[in-house]
Structures are given as structure tokens and as C-alpha cells.
Structure 1
Amino acid sequence: MTWPNGSQLWGTTKLTASKEMSSVLTSVALDGVRLGGAPLQGIRLEKGFLAAPDLAPDKLTGAIFQGTASDGGPVEVAVCGAEPSAQDSSLLSYRIEIWNQSKEAWENPCIATQQVPNPKALAVQSLWDERGANRDEPGKFTFACETGAIAKCIHWGYKPWATKDGQPLKDLHQACTRMVRADYCGDGRSHTRQDHVIDMYDTMGIQARTTVASANWVPSKASFEAAWTPEGASCLARTRDGQPAQSVLKQCPKRFELGERDLGEGDHCAAHLKSPRTGTAVLRNHSYGPQRPGTVTANLRRTP
């Protein structure tokens, strides 16, 4: 199924403009919460929504959480509203703001786009580091903005807390975040730009390959790009941003080597992992060839 990708992981404003994997908000604590000036105890995160004793999940408006930026600095996070997600009513979308000390004002940390001018956030049980790797840390969670890879992959069906046919989806979600950002080396570096459309399909049948042309996608104009594991790409046919494949090999020389691999269904790799890894490929994607900014077909589907 075809969706627009992007280079953002959290979907938040960068803490340092020149640093790709910096963020004004990377984690939020479940303790130290205040509501109406009083401590609010017993906050927990359950399958995509925050809950508190004797309070409905959508009644946390006004609660102040304690968060952390990518440099470890403290950040106050206010929940300004919560409503069922327009894409999945089982999820709650949170309107959040953080306190900007330099401006002495509250502001939305989520990056707005033309398609999503007032982005909201999902509450996700896991944290991500500057290399794009996730980990669980008791008592902490991520507010993932809907224009970032973490939230996009959840909206596409890869809920990290869910299972399908008894199989957990956490690894599939992590692989999806790598794919969205074209993080081939699994080191946090992106090789794409916002809204470059991709077609993805997975081993669990949640998303299927698009084979019929439509206004959103023309399969004959696309080609296989990569297969994905939670640690990054396992094999690579070409880059999404038009860089030579050799540039990726230079970026992570211990990971890939040149060599043809046939994955079946017409998917062929030009480079693959040097040695077996613990992660196995759970996703593949096709994409259009590199395009100059502003040349994306106007009628391609636009979703967060």
C-alpha cells in the first residue's frame, strides 16, 4: 500500500537545527504529573492511551507532564486535549504543547506540514535514541507526533504493543521506522525527503504490495528499493534520494557488501548484509526514482 514517507523520527522540532537526530522532546515520564496544580498519581499507558485512576482517558486536559529533550534537558509538556484518532478510533490523538523557556510561551512541538497544519501526537510505550533504535524504559513513554515515522507506522497498522496471529508487531514497527526514513545503515541517518511516496508490503499480511495502477500509484514507474529489519536494511537495490548505492556502503562499510540477491517477486538486491544478523527482513518497499523537490505528482495520496 502506498504512503508518503519522511525524514523525521519523532516528528518534533529539532533541538539543534544542524543535528538531524535532535528533538525538543524525546521522552515523557509517567510520574511527577500535575493536574490543576495538584499531583496526579497512578498514570499508566495502555495500548496507545494514557489513563489515570477515576479519570476517563480523554479527561487529562490540563495535565502537565515532565519530559526530556535529546540533550537530556528537562521539558514541561501540557496535554491540551485528546480525541479519537481520525485514522483509527482505537487510538487517542493528543494535542500537546511544551514550555519554551526562551520565549516564555507554550508551543506545539510537532512539525506542521501543508497536509497536517496542526499535528497531534500519539502516546507510545518505548523510547528512541539518536541512532533510531527503540528501547523500553519503565515509567517513560514517547509522545510521537503524527508527521514522524513512529506515529506513521502505528497509523499504518504496525502497533508495537499489538500482535497478529500470536506474533508481536514490535519488530515490524521498528523496521517500519527505518523504512520510512530510508535509514539503510540503522544508524539514524535518513536518505529521503518529506512526502516521497513509497509502496510497502510485509511478511505478516498487514500491508500488501500494490499491483494495480491508480491515481495514487503507478507500479510500472516504481522499482524495488530495499528489504528491512529492525536494525536497518538487509539488502538494497538503490537509494531513495538518488545517492549512489556505494555511498551507503561507505557510510556503514561493516554492514553491506556488493552482490546480487534475488528475493523473489521480481525484487533484486545490489548489496546485502556481509554476515547473518539476528534481525530478519520483515518489510520490503518499492518507490519512484529520485525526484527534485516540488516535482512529486500532485494527485498522489497525502496522509500523515
Structure 2
Amino acid sequence: MNAMKKFPLVCLFLQLPALAWAGAPASATPVHEAERYARRCQSQAAYRIARPQGTMLWGTKRDWDTEKVTEERSSVLVSAELAPLRQADAGVKALRLEGGHLVASPVPEAGGVTSGVVGTVLHATDSHGRRVEVAICGAEPSAEDPGMVFYRIEAWNAVAQEWENPCVGLDRVTDSRALVVSGFWDASGAHHEAPGKLTFACQNGAIAKCILWGYKPWASRDGQPLTGLHQACTRMARADYCGNGRSHTHQETTIDMYDRLGLIQRTTEASEEWDPARASFEAAWAPDGATCLARTRDGRAMETILQECPNRFQKGAVAELGGGDRCTVRRVDVHPGSALLRNLSYGGPKGTTAPVQGR
């Protein structure tokens, strides 16, 4: 099997455990500003515990208060501002985004893709619109694409009065880092371009996963920008059928995907990670959600999706998409054939919400 066909074999780790701060009082003594900045980017003891969490878009923790019940569309870090900077190296006034990495402005004489970036502290915002501070503690260019950089970040946890990695870690990516993407995503999962704003997309979230799978929103294919494909991928990765930010998948659900540009192709040969004979067509995807469905990924009844977003889908409206892909539920306002992306999955037991075990 060639590399192109191996690449789309994707394990979605989407029902993710949050790393929670253990033993902290509900409200710690406030730390003076000078001391707060002096304490950023220091090594931290491994005293955090894992707790169940819903599937994620940003790949970040929902809330700093680990005892608080918070829904899956919440995040401690939604967007950051490129200027003005809270803290920076001498002479650095702002940051700018170039493709998949940050550049200090003005550029320090030392040069290099990370020069002047590490150590800066940015203004940021959480999902409730509250102000947050985020520090860039490290930067490592991707081996596959030097223009794309993985950043180690920390955000100020006002509950614990500590700097903390806001990214959720998993067994396969325990110390999750972040990629940078222009604009921001709201609670519904919609992307908004906003001058001067960026998203720190943590590795275990859908935004970063879709970039790593090949859909870089700053890139293009045959003259066509990949922005729409990346956004459609974030919906597909989380099984966000209604385009409202709600996921319908489970941890370690294995899927196969393929797009209309041919960037990623359908897998036809069996391997240890994927068995095409077990898989079936699930849905076709646009940037605002599914254009049509054959079934749900987690096995829940289709009726639950129709109730979640009434008047969006038409039941019993069969659509043949070609290649054996056939929908039985379709959008009323969009032609199914306009989808940018399609996917296969193993699927869950009908009428249940039991998780699908994958690799």
C-alpha cells in the first residue's frame, strides 16, 4: 500500500481525558504580576490526574476548576491576540502569523524561525469571553514541514495560581503542544477570520489533527485553498453532523476519509490499522457540517440527530454519491454532491451509544 493510502488511516482520540490539577484549593492566594511572569515556562511536577472529558475541538481543557461540570463546547483558551504583547524580549513589539508559524516583529538580529517568539506572553480569551494570558515556552519546527512549528504553551490558571499547559494530554501525546492557525473557532465549531487573532490548536484536538492529516488551512492544492477542506475536516473528525459544535463519536474510533481534490484517497487494502471490508460509508461533509448521512458513527439512532437539528435534514431522501457511497438522510438546503469530504467508519451497534473500539 503506498504512502498516500496509508496516510488517511486516522485514529480519532476524541473522547479525551483532561489533565486536572489535583489538590489545589478552590481559590489560591493571588500572585503578584512580576512573580507570575517569572514563574512562566518552568518545569512542572507530574501531579495532575486524568478525568473523563467530552470530545474536543481545540484540544484544550474545558475549565480550570476541575470540580465544575462543563459542557464540551467550553475551553480555557479559544483565541489569542498578536498585539500588544504582555511580555516579550527587548525590542519585540508584536507577533505576526506566516503560514504555520509565528514571526517576531521586528525580527531579532539573531534570525531563525523561532527567534524572539519564545518567552512572549499574549493576551487571550476563553470560551466565556474572559481574559487569559498565554505564554510561549518552546518552539520546534516540524520535521516534515519546517514552516510549521509546534509550540509548547502555558496559560495562567487563576484557580491554582500557576502556569499550566492548557492542552489535554493522552497516552500517545502526553505533553501536547500546539499549532497556530489564523482566526478563531466559536462554540458552534464555526471558524472566523479576525485580523490580529489566532488559535493555539493543541495536538489532541480536531483543529490540529486535520492539519496533521494534510489539510493545512494556509496552503492550497492545484490553486484551490484548503481552508474549506480543513473546516469540513474539523466537523468530520468530531462527527459534528448538525454543525452546532456537538460531537457524536468516541475515543479511538478509527475512520477512513477521502476528499474531492484527491489530497487523501480512499484506502482499499487491509492493514493492521484498517479493514475496508468491515467499514461502510458514514457521511459527506461541508464546512458547516454533514451534507448527508448513511448512519451515525457511534451507533445512536438517526432520529436523535434529526431531533438535535430539526428542519436541517430530510429523512428518506436517498442520494447516490458514487463509488458505492449512498446517503439515506440529506440536507434540505445543500446538494449532497457539494460535499468536500467523505468518510467511512466501522460504526457502532444500531440504536446504542456504546463506544466503537479502534486503534
Structure 1 length normalisation: TM-score? 0.93
Query: Equivalent residue for 2:39?
Result: none
Are the counterparts in 2 of residues 225 and 239 from structure 1 also a CA contact under 8 Å? yes
Are the counterparts in 2 of residues 162 and 168 from structure 1 also a CA contact under 8 Å? yes
Q: Are 2:206 and 1:149 aligned?
A: yes
Q: Are 2:62 and 1:14 aligned?
A: yes
Are the counterparts in 1 of residues 80 and 200 from structure 2 also a CA contact under 8 Å? yes
Q: Secondary structure at the match of 2:150?
A: strand
Q: For 1:232 and 1:45, how far apart are their aligned partners in 2?
A: 27
Q: For 1:151 and 1:88, how far apart are their aligned partners in 2?
A: 14
- Structure 2 unmatched ranges of 5 or more: 1-7, 15-54
Are the counterparts in 2 of residues 88 and 155 from structure 1 also a CA contact under 8 Å? no
Aligned partner (choices 115, 120, 128) of residue 185 of structure 2: 128
What's the RMSD between the two structures over aligned residues? 1.9
How many residue pairs were aligned?
A: 297
Distance change in 2, residues 1:216/1:286 (3 Å)? same
Please give the residue correspondences for 1:233-244 in structure 2 after superposition, counting only pairs within 5 Å.
Answer: 233-244=290-301
Using the TM superposition, give the Cα deviation of residue 86 of structure 1 relative to its aligned residue in structure 2, in angstroms: 4.8
Letter in 1 for 2:126: A
Aligned partner (choices 317, 328, 338) of residue 270 of structure 1: 328
Q: For 2:199 and 2:122, how far apart are their aligned partners in 1?
A: 12
Distance change in 2, residues 1:75/1:216 (3 Å)? same
Are the counterparts in 2 of residues 34 and 40 from structure 1 also a CA contact under 8 Å? no
Distance change in 2, residues 1:264/1:155 (3 Å)? same
Query: Equivalent residue for 2:95?
Result: 43
Letter in 2 for 1:71: H
Higher alpha-carbon deviation: 251-260 or 284-293: 284-293
- Structure 1 unmatched ranges of 5 or more: none
Q: Are 2:114 and 1:58 aligned?
A: yes
Q: Are 2:244 and 1:183 aligned?
A: no
Q: For 2:261 and 2:289, how far apart are their aligned partners in 1?
A: 18
Letter in 2 for 1:296: Q
Query: Equivalent residue for 1:296?
Result: 357
Q: Are 2:252 and 1:195 aligned?
A: yes
Using the TM superposition, give the Cα deviation of residue 34 of structure 1 relative to its aligned residue in structure 2, in angstroms: 4.1
Are the counterparts in 1 of residues 168 and 176 from structure 2 also a CA contact under 8 Å? yes
Aligned partner (choices 313, 319, 323) of residue 256 of structure 1: 313
Q: For 1:190 and 1:246, how far apart are their aligned partners in 2?
A: 16
Aligned partner (choices 337, 340, 350) of residue 282 of structure 1: 340
Q: For 2:192 and 2:91, how far apart are their aligned partners in 1?
A: 28
Using the TM superposition, give the Cα deviation of residue 99 of structure 1 relative to its aligned residue in structure 2, in angstroms: 0.7
Using the TM superposition, give the Cα deviation of residue 18 of structure 1 relative to its aligned residue in structure 2, in angstroms: 2.5
Are the counterparts in 1 of residues 292 and 331 from structure 2 also a CA contact under 8 Å? yes
Are the counterparts in 2 of residues 32 and 39 from structure 1 also a CA contact under 8 Å? no
Q: Are 2:61 and 1:32 aligned?
A: no
Deviations 1:77-132 (A, max 9, x none): 01110001255433100000001112111100000011110000001012100000
Higher alpha-carbon deviation: 181-190 or 28-37: 28-37
Using the TM superposition, give the Cα deviation of residue 38 of structure 1 relative to its aligned residue in structure 2, in angstroms: 5.4
Q: For 1:220 and 1:277, how far apart are their aligned partners in 2?
A: 28
Q: Secondary structure at the match of 2:244?
A: coil
Please give the residue correspondences for 1:161-240 in structure 2 after superposition, counting only pairs within 5 Å.
Answer: 161-240=218-297
Distance change in 2, residues 1:279/1:209 (3 Å)? closer
Using the TM superposition, give the Cα deviation of residue 181 of structure 1 relative to its aligned residue in structure 2, in angstroms: 0.5
Q: Secondary structure at the match of 1:32?
A: strand
Q: For 2:114 and 2:69, how far apart are their aligned partners in 1?
A: 34
Q: For 1:50 and 1:108, how far apart are their aligned partners in 2?
A: 19
Letter in 1 for 2:114: D
Q: Secondary structure at the match of 1:151?
A: helix
Letter in 2 for 1:280: S
Query: Equivalent residue for 1:3?
Result: 10
Q: For 2:309 and 2:153, how far apart are their aligned partners in 1?
A: 37
Query: Equivalent residue for 1:90?
Result: 147
Q: Secondary structure at the match of 2:210?
A: helix
Q: For 2:143 and 2:253, how far apart are their aligned partners in 1?
A: 23
Are the counterparts in 2 of residues 179 and 228 from structure 1 also a CA contact under 8 Å? yes
Using the TM superposition, give the Cα deviation of residue 57 of structure 1 relative to its aligned residue in structure 2, in angstroms: 2.8
Q: For 1:165 and 1:37, how far apart are their aligned partners in 2?
A: 40
Are the counterparts in 2 of residues 191 and 241 from structure 1 also a CA contact under 8 Å? yes
Are the counterparts in 2 of residues 231 and 279 from structure 1 also a CA contact under 8 Å? no
Larger radius of gyration: 2
Q: For 1:37 and 1:167, how far apart are their aligned partners in 2?
A: 38
Q: For 2:332 and 2:311, how far apart are their aligned partners in 1?
A: 7
Q: Secondary structure at the match of 1:95?
A: strand
Deviations 1:272-297 (A, max 9, x none): 0113369930000000122745x725
